[in-house]
Copies of this chain bind each other. A is one copy, B any other.
Amino acid sequence: MKICQVERPLVSTNRIAGFEHKHLLVVRDGSSRQVAVDSVGCVPGDWVICVGSSAAREAAGSKEYPSDLTIVGIIDHWPPESAGDDGADRPRPKST
């Protein structure tokens, strides 16, 4: 799964019926932007876990849902400023 940051909502009035009325969000994965379906209820600025591939469909609610990128979790703590190094200077989350 990818680690992305939510940037903003995306409005697409003319879209296929299969999307239903789920929210679409623009997320950033490093320097690239993609569109993800929100399954957890997140807001701009959140660091989230995005699942792709065929798993994105079921994660969005059903096997027929036409998503290839679905937000499946909000990360409790994420050190974006150390994303390019090993984050050794920051407290690390412990496994639960």
**CA distance in complex: A66, B57 (Å):** 9
**A55 and B58 contacting across the interface, CB-CB below 8 Å:** no
**B69 and A10 contacting across the interface, CB-CB below 8 Å:** no
Task: Return the contact of A67 from the options B1, B12, B18 (Cβ within 8 A).
Answer: B1
**CA distance in complex: A73, B26 (Å):** 14
Query: Can you list 24 pairs linking A and B with CB atoms under 8 Å apart?
Result: A1-B36, A1-B67, A2-B35, A8-B93, A9-B94, A9-B95, A10-B93, A11-B96, A12-B49, A12-B73, A12-B76, A15-B73, A16-B39, A18-B58, A30-B32, A52-B68, A53-B54, A54-B55, A55-B57, A55-B67, A56-B68, A59-B66, A66-B70, A66-B72
